[in-house]
Structures are given as structure tokens and as C-alpha cells.
């Protein structure tokens, strides 16, 4: 996976995602620019998290999940036969909806990634832990109890610890799946400010339920929605589609689609 100097980090081409035989997301085409924040918004069940998780192949872990089309990262298809998902996830990190620190010390949480990569040098690890915690604006709060369990921190601190943990392996892209939805407003604000700092170095893709959050932090916004079809026996099939993708300002001020407009006015979702 050699990085070519394209302006975008990730490109999705004609992506269909299935769970078993059931279509989950249909025909997504999207280019995610480098060192920008791209937000995925849309009603529940529209497949925005599914698309996000397909970018670092986390969907591989779900039995029966499959994908069609191309997910290009630096021009290379991540789903080609010779690509190891472990390498993909090492270069495209992920922060989850619910803060999920490991039941280990703060230090061990952050050192986890470098250790996975075979780093055993105490001095190097110390440096990485300190730098990562500083980048996540957590260092000042925890520098005196690095031996404390990561689970002993508050929810917001835990989420910043998870971000620090992700930064520690120096990924090129950070995927965030509703990173602030389990947090209070103050912690949410801290995470948003942190994202604005991080985007100077990393490409960020964030899924959010919160339209204000998308407006506040993102440079580009992709709006997903749901399509339905009545099946023969009265069952309804639902799948997600990408409706509109534009710079955030334009999408919120002047949406091209009527459905987008109705969604941002809060008429459904």
C-alpha cells in the first residue's frame, strides 16, 4: 500500500455492503479528503456506521458480512486478496461509540498498539505514551497516575484515552463512530476541540447523530438515508443509500436534495 499523492485519502466506488443475503448499503460513491473532517449523518439504520466500518475492514469481524465495489486507500483497493486487514486497521484507526479502554493501566492502554507492533523498548514506549496522551489533551490529568486502571477514568477521559491509544500507532486516518454520543456536553466539547487539533495531522471520518456537531466540526458532510421496498409476504426490506455529499457549509445552507433539506429541518430521523 504505497501512498500516492492524491488529495483524497479514501475513495469508495460503487460500494454495496451485505449482511448475509440482506443488502445493507447500496451503491456508495465517496471521496474522503486528506486532513479534513468528514461527517456521516443520517437517520438510524441508514448504514452510515456500516460504511465507516467498511473503511478499516471492521465489518470482516461480523459473520456473514460481505462487500462489493472498491474501497481505495491511497489508490489501492483495501479488499484485494493480498491485503491483510490487520495492516489496514493499523493504518486506519478507530474510536468507538462507547468508550472501551482495556481493563489495564492507562500506560498499558496507550502502549498496547506499539507493543502489538513488537516495540519492547521501555524508553520508546514512555515517549510514545507521553506524546499520545499530550496529543489527546489527557496528559496533564493523568501524568501522575499512569498505573491507574483506564476504567477508573471518567467517560470523557476514557474516550480521550481511546483516542490517545489510537494515535499511539500513528495511523493515517482515524474513524470515529459517534465518539461523543455517550458523553455529557462538556466532555463532548472537549472531544470536538480535540478533533479540530487532530485534523492538522490526521484524516478524520466521524459518524454522528448530532447535526449541530457535524456543522461545528466537519469540513464535508455525507447524508445517508433509507430506501424501502415491500416484499411479497408483507415484509419490508430497508437499506441505506448515500443521498448527498458536499462541503458542510453548502450541505446545511443549500442542500441539493429535498430529502436532505427535510432531514436537516428535523422532519424525520
Partner 1 sequence: MSTTPTTVSTVEPVSRLPVDEAFKRHLRSRHLRGAVWKRFFFLANVVALLALVALFLNVVDRAFGLVATEYTVPPESIIEEYGFQVDSAALQALESNETAEIDTSSTILLENLTSEQLVTILQGELGGRFRVIIRDNLSAIIDATFTSVPLSEAFPGLSLPEGREDVTINDLTPEEQAQLVIDNLPHSRLVDITIEQVLQPRIVGSWSLGESIFNREAVIEQATVNHPNAEVTFRNWVSLDFITSSISSTPTTAGLRTALFGTLWVVLIAIAVALPLGVGAALYLEEYATGNNWLERLIQTNIRNLAGVPSIIYGLLGLFVFVRALGFFTSGQFIGINDVNGRTVISASFTLALLILPVIIINAQEAIRAVPPSIREASYGMGATKWQTIWRQVLPVAFPGILTGVILSMSRAIGETAPLVVIGASTFIGIDPNGPFSKFTVIPIQIYQWTGRPEAEFARLAAAAILVLLTLLISLNATAIFLRQYYRRKLQL
Single residue of 34, 76, 89, 134 touching partner 1 by CB under 8 A: 89
96 lines the binding site for partner 1 (CB under 8 A):
yes
* CA–CA gap between residue 39 and residue 41 (Å, rounded): 6
Task: Tell me the helices (H) and strands (E) count for the chain, helix number first.
Answer: 10, 10
203 lines the binding site for partner 1 (CB under 8 A):
no
113 lines the binding site for partner 1 (CB under 8 A):
yes
* Residue 106 or 226 having the CB closest to partner 1: 106
Where do runs of H (alpha helix) occur along 168-236?
185-198, 211-217
In this structure, what are the phi and psi dihedrals at residue 253, rounded to the nearest 5 degrees?
-90, -35
- Minimum CB separation of residue 39 from partner 1 in Å reads 20
**For residues 180 and 213, is the Cβ–Cβ distance under 8 A?**
yes
DSSP string, 34-72: TTSEEEEE-STTSSHHHHHHHHTTGGGGSTTEEEEEEEE
Judged by CB under 8 A, how many residues of this single chain contact partner 1? 28
Q: At what angle do helices 155-167 and 106-116 cross, to 10 degrees?
A: 20
65-73 and 76-77: which strand pairing?
A: antiparallel
100 lines the binding site for partner 1 (CB under 8 A):
yes
- Minimum CB separation of residue 187 from partner 1 in Å reads 18
Using alpha carbons, select from 225, 141, 210, 140 the residue that is nearest to residue 179. Answer: 210
* Residue 5 or 61 having the CB closest to partner 1: 61
**For residues 42 and 224, is the Cβ–Cβ distance under 8 A?**
yes
Single residue of 61, 122, 123, 147 touching partner 1 by CB under 8 A: 61
Single residue of 75, 116, 184, 256 touching partner 1 by CB under 8 A: 116
Q: Cell numbers of 63, please?
A: 459473520
Single residue of 103, 185, 234, 266 touching partner 1 by CB under 8 A: 103
Residues 164-193 as x/- pattern, contact with partner 1 by CB under 8 A: -xx--x------------------------
The total of other beta-carbon atoms located within 10 Å of residue 138's CB is 24
- Looking at residues 13 to 42 of the shown chain, list those that interact with partner 1 (rule: CB under 8 A): none
Q: To which H or E segment does residue 263 belong?
A: helix 258-264
- Looking at residues 131 to 160 of the shown chain, list those that interact with partner 1 (rule: CB under 8 A): 149, 151-152
* Residue 100 or 189 having the CB closest to partner 1: 100
Task: Return the range that interacts with partner 1 (CB under 8 A); candidates 31-39, 85-93, 121-129, 186-194.
Answer: 85-93
Measured over the CA atoms of residue 105, residue 111, residue 113 and residue 118, the dihedral's sign is negative
Single residue of 4, 7, 63, 228 touching partner 1 by CB under 8 A: 63
Residues within the interface to partner 1 (CB under 8 A):
56, 58, 61, 63, 86-87, 89-91, 93-94, 96, 98, 100-103, 112-113, 116-117, 149, 151-152, 162, 165-166, 169
Amino acid at each position: 500500500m504505497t501512498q500516492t499523492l492524491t488529495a483524497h485519502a479514501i475513495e469508495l466506488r460503487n460500494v454495496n455492503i451485505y449482511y448475509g443475503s440482506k443488502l445493507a448499503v447500496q451503491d456508495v460513491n465517496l471521496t474522503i479528503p486528506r486532513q479534513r473532517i468528514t461527517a456521516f449523518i443520517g437517520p438510524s439504520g441508514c448504514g452510515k456506521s456500516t460504511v465507516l466500518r467498511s473503511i478499516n475492514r471492521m465489518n470482516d469481524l461480523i459473520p456473514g458480512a460481505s462487500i462489493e465495489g472498491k474501497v481505495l486507500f491511497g489508490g489501492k483497493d483495501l479488499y484485494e486478496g493480498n491485503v491483510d486487514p490487520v495492516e489496514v486497521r493499523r493504518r486506519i484507526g478507530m474510536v468507538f461509540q462507547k468508550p472501551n479502554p482495556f481493563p489495564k493501566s492507562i500506560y498499558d492502554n496507550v502502549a498496547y498498539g506499539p507493543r502489538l507492533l513488537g516495540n519492547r523498548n521501555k524508553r520508546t514506549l514512555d515517549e510514545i505514551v507521553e506524546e499520545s496522551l499530550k496529543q489527546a489533551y489527557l496528559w496533564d490529568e493523568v501524568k501522575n497516575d499512569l498505573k491507574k486502571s483506564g476504567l477508573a477514568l471518567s467517560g470523557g477521559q476514557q474516550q480521550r484515552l481511546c483516542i490517545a491509544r489510537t494515535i499511539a500507532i500513528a495511523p493515517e486516518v482515524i474513524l470515529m463512530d459517534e465518539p461523543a454520543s455517550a458523553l455529557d456536553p462538556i466532555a463532548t466539547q472537549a472531544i470536538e476541540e480535540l478533533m479540530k487539533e487532530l485534523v492538522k495531522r490526521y484524516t478524520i471520518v466521524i459518524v454522528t447523530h448530532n447535526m449541530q456537531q457535524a456543522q461545528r466540526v466537519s469540513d464535508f458532510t455525507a447524508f445517508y438515508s433509507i430506501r424501502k421496498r415491500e416484499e411479497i409476504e408483507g415484509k419490508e426490506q430497508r437499506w441505506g443509500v448515500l443521498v448527498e455529499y458536499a462541503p458542510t457549509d453548502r450541505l446545511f445552507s443549500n442542500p441539493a436534495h429535498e430529502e436532505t433539506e427535510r432531514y436537516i429541518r428535523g422532519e424525520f430521523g
